[in-house]
């Protein structure tokens, strides 16, 4: 790897196209594929919790995101944008599933009712 303050000199010197990953995973090949999840909910009550995203391609291959370290607040008809990362890239997504968790063991379980959702690849914005 390279120190963050010296990445530009190292990459520009290479004549072939090079990708730099500043958010890395702990699994080989260490790169993360980032997506922006844009959600609008219609719960009347405010919900606070964590979202985990699972995407599946047409061949049945599935990859699950890491759970965000900070809880998001969901209000009725308010847009929430969440950055989520995957260890693998899936080109043609056939299915998206979300898991909502409050991470509390005591108290009632809450559902998050989604009115609209958009998942956009940040590594490949044309998708």
Spell out the domain ranges in the chain. 4-121
The per-residue pLDDT for 8 is 61
What lies within 8 Å, CB to CB, of 37 at 6+ separation is 51, 53, 81, 82, 83, 84, 117, 118, 119
Closest CA to 101 of 74, 80, 75, 79: 74
The structure's pTM equals 0.70
Q: Give every residue of the chain whose pLDDT is below 70, as ranges.
A: 1-30, 107-108
What CATH number belongs to 4-121?
A: 2.60.60
The per-residue pLDDT for 91 is 85
Helix ranges (H only) for the chain are 7-13
């Amino acid at each position: 790897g390279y120190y963050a303050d010296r990445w530009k000199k190292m990459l520009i010197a290479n004549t072939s196209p090079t990708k730099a990953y500043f958010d890395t995973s702990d699994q080989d090949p260490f790169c993360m594929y980032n997506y922006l999840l844009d959600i609008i909910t219609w719960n009347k009550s405010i919900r606070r919790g964590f979202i985990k995203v699972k995407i599946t391609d047409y061949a049945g291959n599935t990859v699950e995101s890491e759970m965000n370290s900070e809880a998001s607040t969901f209000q009725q008809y308010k847009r929430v944008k969440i950055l989520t990362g995957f260890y693998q890239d899936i080109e043609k997504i056939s299915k998206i599933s979300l898991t909502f968790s409050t991470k509390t063991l005591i108290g009632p379980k809450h559902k998050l009712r989604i009115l609209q959702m958009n998942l956009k690849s940040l590594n490949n914005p044309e998708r």
